[in-house]
Amino acid sequence: MRSSLKTVLLVAAAFSIACLQSCKPKGTQSAVSGDAAAKVYVAPGKYDEFYNFVSGGFSGQMSVYGIPSGRLFRVIPVFSVDPEKGYGFSEETKAMLNTSHGFVPWDDLHHIALSETNGIQDGRWVFGNGNNTPRIARVDLKTFRTAEIIEIPNSGGNHSSPFITENSEYVVAGTRFSVPMDNSNGDVPINTYKNNFKGTVSFISVDQTTGHMNIAFQILMPGVNFDLARAGKGKSHGWMFFSCYNSERANTLLEVNASQKDKDFIIAVNWKKAEEYIKAGKGRKESVKYAHNTYDEKTHSASSVIEEEVTVLDSKELADMVYLMPCPKSPHGCDTDPTGEYIVGSGKLAAIIPVFSFTKMQQAIANKTFDGEYEGIPVLKYDAVLHGEVQKPGLGPLHTEFDDKGFAYTSFFVSSEIVKWNVKTLEVVDRVPTYYAIGHLSVPGGPTRKPWGKYVIAYNKMTKDRYLPTGPELAQSAQLYSIEGDKMKLLLDFPTIGEPHYAEAIPADLLMKNSQKIFKIEENKNPFAALGDNNARVERKGNEVHVYMTSIRSHFTPDNIEGVKMGDIVYFHVTNLEQDWDVPHGFAVKGANNAELLIMPGETQTLAWKPERVGVFPMYCTDFCSALHQEMQGYIRVSPAGSNVPISFGTGKTDSTAVAAK
């Protein structure tokens, strides 16, 4: 009691010091205006205004924050195993991480794409890319869980992905690394790059009812590096714009050798034309191998299929499908404005931002205003397609998002700032520093036809003076700015999971009403489900022991298990019988070499456990489920190989026949 009072006084003292300091701002603190705290304060019991889906970078996951509070709600496991949720460890989820290279338990998730209808966020799904072992994942926004992962063949480094078209017809995947194609002999000298290495962009169709992805076609491209992409919208619907660098086609020391030319390209792909070619049978079937993994919410299980064919369209051979727009200095971001008229290229090394006009591009194509060809693809004349250049905006433009008032917001890595400019007049109207080295940025609805505006969020790479030091690596960070007035105002710093790259924000009311609360137990089709305590049992099949276990506040059935022998493998199939929102049960057993299970209400998940010594091993519920959570436990007995202890099990029997033989 006395020490508690002391704590209160200490906290109060600390706060009063903080208050005093805020009266005399200095350094970067001066960037924060006086009412910032009120603007990000979401009172206890109140909801945030937006969900912010943030890529987790090298964590491989996706995280969900509230805006404006910056509170972390959830980390969604996508490409990396997550022992906390059993993802990639439970028998049911392992198949999600299957690839043509086998089980790959990690990836690097860079970009987010929320599904759209008519160019407006619709809250059905969010897609993410796996950079390292090329993949695209679809997360279902009813469950906030990864529902599907598709591997991308003929690709190395799926960076230019998973940008989405305005009716979610396609998500795309442009390869960062050009590579020898999968069905060619890959055993070639690396310095034969120019002859043997190709690029591809893939169009992955999305079933509008189920969300299921399918590689509709790939377009074979010159051997450059694809960086980012954005779909046309409105008048430019039917086109996809990819930025690329390394038009030099260097294969070593790219930091020098890929920066030789003044201009690389924005690659404009007419995907409606590509669809026509596919219909006309112009696609070439190529044999490849890629995994396609889906999670079924009825069986609560993932399955993985290896697909063996992809249809390829060759950009060299098929006219009117691909055009190149010269873009200065290794373009990175490639963003289309809400009207679909303007395409903003951001050369990482440039001191201007070129803004291209879709209308002019169409005219240039019609008039064949070409500046020769690159690898058989027409190059449009820079001046003929240019709307204009934003002059001296800053150093190192990377990405651009848009608001609902005709302004663009471009991030500048080198000069560490966000610059606001008028899309039509190209005038810079405001700039704010970011702390430090901003990469991506996000305006709610910023990449769509209908930006919601209100905030811009910066995702930064460095935070040296922003957070308490935590050893060699510091917190990754986001910064929230108000864009409601003429001037941007810094409101809040908040740390993020992994390294944040791209992120999108969506109004909370578009999602929260769809959020799933439970899985109905009567719809549980997991073949190992025990639907009710009466169905709980233990069965031996050779050296496999299957425990069909149920969990409900506050016990497991069975909770005493005997008859397991050395050399057995035990499968705990745990069904959570709860039908109540926010009541998962966990399951852990001593010595497990994998992880825990975290089982949602109505769901069944399985943990494989191979005993490595004789004895009695505790098992327990890991998720604090109830007042008697600590009582939710049991034992499993392991006897030597060849022992004659019979399989037996039970719960709640307290006499000497504690465990009913069966």
Partner 1 sequence: MKKLFRFFPLTALVLIFSACNSNTESVTATETKDAAIKNGGQEAVQDDVSQKDVVKIAVGSKDHTTLVAALKQAEYVDDLSNAGPFTVFAPTNDAFNKLPAGTVEGLMKDDKKADLQNILEYHVAVGVYKTENMKEGQKINMANLNDITLSVKDGRVVVNGTANVVASIPAANGIIHVVDAVLLPPAKN
Which residues sit at the interface with partner 1, rule CB under 8 A?
1, 4, 8-9, 11-13, 15-16, 19, 43-46, 517-518, 520, 553-554, 578-581, 583, 601, 625-628, 652
Q: What is the C-alpha to C-alpha distance for residues 534 and 406, in angstroms, rounded to an integer?
A: 64
- 18's CB contacts (< 8 A; 6+ apart) are none
CB distance 451 to 404 below 8 Å: yes
Can you spell out the DSSP letters for 270-290? EHHHHHHHHHTT--EEEEEEE
Closer Cβ to partner 1, 298 or 517, answer by number: 517
- End-to-end CA separation in angstroms for the chain: 55
Min dist CB 47 to partner 1, Å, is 8
Min dist CB 168 to partner 1, Å, is 27
Closer Cβ to partner 1, 292 or 300, answer by number: 300
Angle at 355 between CA 410 and CA 489, to 5 degrees: 20
Min dist CB 291 to partner 1, Å, is 34
Min dist CB 15 to partner 1, Å, is 4
Min dist CB 454 to partner 1, Å, is 22
Min dist CB 513 to partner 1, Å, is 9
> Dihedral of CA 192/196/199/205: which sign?
negative
Closer Cβ to partner 1, 71 or 540, answer by number: 71
Closer Cβ to partner 1, 199 or 634, answer by number: 634
Closer Cβ to partner 1, 223 or 601, answer by number: 601
Min dist CB 45 to partner 1, Å, is 5
- Tokens 């997550």, residue? 82
Closer Cβ to partner 1, 325 or 599, answer by number: 599
- 62's CB contacts (< 8 A; 6+ apart) are 53, 54, 55, 56, 75, 76, 78, 109, 112, 126, 128, 139
Q: What is the C-alpha to C-alpha distance for residues 22 and 1, in angstroms, rounded to an integer?
A: 32
Reduce the DSSP state of residue 211 to 3 states and report it: coil
- Tokens 């109060």, residue? 12
The bridge status of strand 555-557 relative to strand 544-552 is antiparallel
Q: What is the DSSP letter of 472?
A: B
Helix then strand then coil, in percent of the chain rounded to 5, is 15, 45, 40
Q: CA dist 337 to 115, 259, 403, 440, Å?
A: 17, 27, 9, 16
Closer Cβ to partner 1, 12 or 188, answer by number: 12
Closer Cβ to partner 1, 478 or 625, answer by number: 625
Min dist CB 517 to partner 1, Å, is 5
Strand arrangement, sheet containing 585-589: 597-599, 585-589, 615-620, 633-639, 560-565, 648-650, 660-661
Closest CA to 233 of 451, 483, 84, 52: 451
Min dist CB 631 to partner 1, Å, is 8
Min dist CB 8 to partner 1, Å, is 5
Closer Cβ to partner 1, 114 or 625, answer by number: 625
Closer Cβ to partner 1, 235 or 517, answer by number: 517
Closer Cβ to partner 1, 594 or 626, answer by number: 626
Closer Cβ to partner 1, 46 or 613, answer by number: 46
Min dist CB 576 to partner 1, Å, is 12
Q: What is the C-alpha to C-alpha distance for residues 229 and 163, in angstroms, rounded to an integer?
A: 6
CB distance 436 to 477 below 8 Å: no
Dihedral angle, C-alpha 575, 581, 583, 585, nearest 10 °? 30
Min dist CB 518 to partner 1, Å, is 6
Min dist CB 584 to partner 1, Å, is 11
Phi, psi (degrees; rounded to nearest 5) at 360? -65, -35
Q: What is the C-alpha to C-alpha distance for residues 480 and 500, in angstroms, rounded to an integer?
A: 14
Amino acid at 118: N
The number of CA neighbours under 13 Å toward the Cβ of 328 is 19
Amino acid at 85: K
Closer Cβ to partner 1, 516 or 639, answer by number: 516
